[in-house]
Structure 1
């Protein structure tokens, strides 16, 4: 018994000794300690620093609002999969408050049309009112002059009442008071009678009248809109540790156009009947539940940023079109085009295997019976600048690699603002311009190319379009027309915040905005004439 107690005491003493050693030992970690992490500058910090320096110069007082929206969760829309349980998916999403974007656009379009008709009618009535008033005043003056010529022997003060009496008798002989007309001043009385005639003619004949506006001369016809002012360039761009001069990159966006650029208004913005897209109303920040698989084994809807819808609609895919999505990964815009049920051929291309794998994953999740698609849907892995299939495609979407502004502020992984990717980031505008220029050469004459980015940078947006148009003009005889979609995009203002007065020369920009936090998304529509 004594021996056992000694052994136990010895073991306990050893345990206590060891425990005391472990407790007193201090563990150190140089890389993961909180003090080290607190001082570390991440790519998202670099991105925000760059945006604060650059975009504050570009957007001015708008930048704080845009910045807040970029740092907040962005808003999604749900693209209903026509190859799943579409009716059930629509019903389920409508039950939680989602609304059809096509229906919203159609209602807004009709409202705008009625408002324009009413405004046009008011303007025409105002023109008629002015013409009628001027005519009546001329008639009164002419009658006054004729009456004065009939009574030359009367004094001026005495003859002043004569035309007034006669004019009053012409208006209403039963209600005329000769005593009061004699005592009134000639000028005041003539003006009162003239105003009464004008008031009677306008209210009795013009208020509800049908009138012919074709005979009215519109002084504003033939006049263009006010000149667009240019972006103010940023003078510096954040690099790894030093400031890098940006002037060499801003040459892509010159103020003066030294080559002809043809710009035409586009009023056509069609939302295909088979394309069903739902989102929550403006100001509603609710989120969609994760999509579920339907009876066909595919997911019932696809979630994507609502800004991605507009470049696809701007492309205007029609039945039988042969479409190239030049930089297709991850595949959301390609899926949108497939949901229209219009393309006779859709080629989804990207440059890296990892990116084409993402396209294959989306196709597998949302399409079934792949044998039926093998002649209509093709996935390729090539550099878009090396595609040599000329005059095959009549629609090309060029959704180029860019700084991906929102992603750069939220994700450190694969962030373009990593110190090791500075040179890659600075080469982005050049690569973008080469992709767009090559797409304009590939597309069939009469075909459409839509260029898009998810960046706010004027260099990557209008600047790249400018550079590509210049290169095409210098190197080929291709004629390109830029489509100004300002009028066509009026109905979408109910769901999007568009940069209307930012001095954009070629394209259109969806601005992040808390009540409708889509984007950023820039897109420009170009049509090759020959």
Structure 2
């Protein structure tokens, strides 16, 4: 009898075990890539962004905001006419809404029209990043760490929480210089955005039936920042190292400044996406212009041309936080792409180091990502520069843009008090739901 009872208990335990195992497998099957991304970010980002993380998270999951860049190669005068809000209308809005929401030009107009607004209401604090708030040490311990320099097997791959202490900047030979001049908006670059809090959609781009191109290009407003940070000058040779799908290449061309823009990607299919983007916005057959745009397919980690470019944009593959939280297809958080995801810091640092060897002395490299990850932002900049310090005679300086970006703080929510040492970051916000976008500017000295 005892043997039968024991057998029944064992059978029951076996059934319970199989049921639990089945439920666990069922649960794993139901977990989507977007859920994996949410779980990852909910662990990795709160230690960095603290009480700001819930609002950032909500913005990432909410409707994204875009700006419209007018296509100079279409009938842009008509397009501008359709987009243009009357200056008096903007000044009127600045009178009835919080005045600090509007650029200084319209704030001054509103004050001129109604002196009763008074200096007390002319509040610029929401538009200004204090220099003391940028680049401070000790405000976020995770910003003081970088990923391992060598990742061999899966057991050695790292997550955000597996970190290694970095040396001081002076110990690896690079310094910081402040950009004294505000960031420049080229006169030919015509950009339109809805006011803060306004989530209206732009109309669908229209075809210019004479030139067979679309009249404007819509993109996340924060994506302008890396191109503006390049500060392209007339006649310069520019490389967009990881250019697909081609939006930032197009913005650079719309400035009408570069002597040539080389758009590179390692993938043939992604190169075709660049071609398609340019085909939709650049009229075919303008031979003088076509000489200014070249598409190449090469490994960005091994650029053969050394000291060949004036400006290089390194907009690297990254966690793409917003996309990862919304799209399941081909997500970087797919279980089959785990090694690829965890190898990103190594790939990013190799791309940046390669760009710094391809830019001429005196030239500029801008490194950018669309992730909040400290490892893929400041951490990668540190890793690339320390690699160059150890392996080459190249010398670089970090360009502190904290002052330069102040005029854009009416449009972007810049992250402050995050311990950022090398770059600026645009944080997603429900008022202006752009980003995330991290941008670091590096000038090669020799």
Range class of TM-score, shorter chain: 0.7 to 0.9
- Give the conservation status (yes or no) of the 8 Å contact 1:230–1:255: no
Residues 51/503 of structure 1: CA separation in 2 closer, same or farther (3 Å cut): same
- Give the conservation status (yes or no) of the 8 Å contact 2:133–2:417: no
Of 166, 175, 180, which residue of structure 2 is paired with 1:254? 166
Calculate the TM-score normalised by the size of structure 2.
0.78
Where do 5+ consecutive residues of structure 1 fail to align? Answer: 1-35, 112-117, 119-222
Residues 225/322 of structure 1: CA separation in 2 closer, same or farther (3 Å cut): closer
State the match for 1:286 in structure 2.
Answer: 200
Distance 1:46 1:246 in 2: 14
How far off its partner does 1:528 sit?
A: 0.5
Distance 1:388 1:48 in 2: 39
State the match for 1:275 in structure 2.
Answer: 189
How far off its partner does 1:106 sit?
A: 6.9
How far off its partner does 1:428 sit?
A: 0.1
- Give the conservation status (yes or no) of the 8 Å contact 1:317–1:342: yes
Residues 49/71 of structure 1: CA separation in 2 closer, same or farther (3 Å cut): same
Instruction: Name the one with the larger helix percent.
Output: 1
Residues 243/473 of structure 1: CA separation in 2 closer, same or farther (3 Å cut): closer
Residue 241 (structure 2) pairs with residue 326 (structure 1)? yes
Residue 65 (structure 2) pairs with residue 67 (structure 1)? no
Residues 90/456 of structure 1: CA separation in 2 closer, same or farther (3 Å cut): same
SS at match of 1:474: helix
RMSD in angstroms over aligned alpha carbons?
Answer: 2.9
Distance 2:157 2:294 in 1: 42
1:126-137 paired onto structure 2 within 5 Å? none
State the match for 1:217 in structure 2.
Answer: none
Q: Who wins on radius of gyration, i.e. which is larger?
A: 1
State the match for 1:263 in structure 2.
Answer: 176
Alpha-carbon displacement from aligned partner over 1:4-45 (angstroms, at most 9, x marks no partner): xxxxxxxxxxxxxxxxxxxxxxxxxxxxxxxx8997111011
Calculate the TM-score normalised by the size of structure 1.
0.66
SS at match of 2:214: coil
- Give the conservation status (yes or no) of the 8 Å contact 1:263–1:481: yes
Of 395, 399, 417, which residue of structure 2 is paired with 1:501? 417
Distance 2:331 2:419 in 1: 29
Where do 5+ consecutive residues of structure 2 fail to align? Answer: 1-25, 91-101, 110-118, 120-131, 148-154
How far off its partner does 1:110 sit?
A: 9.0
Distance 2:27 2:342 in 1: 28
Alpha-carbon displacement from aligned partner over 1:456-510 (angstroms, at most 9, x marks no partner): 0000000000001101111111110101111111111101000021110000000
1:75-114 paired onto structure 2 within 5 Å? 75-94=65-84, 107=105
Of 468, 471, 486, which residue of structure 1 is paired with 2:402? 486
State the match for 1:233 in structure 2.
Answer: 142
Distance 1:349 1:106 in 2: 38
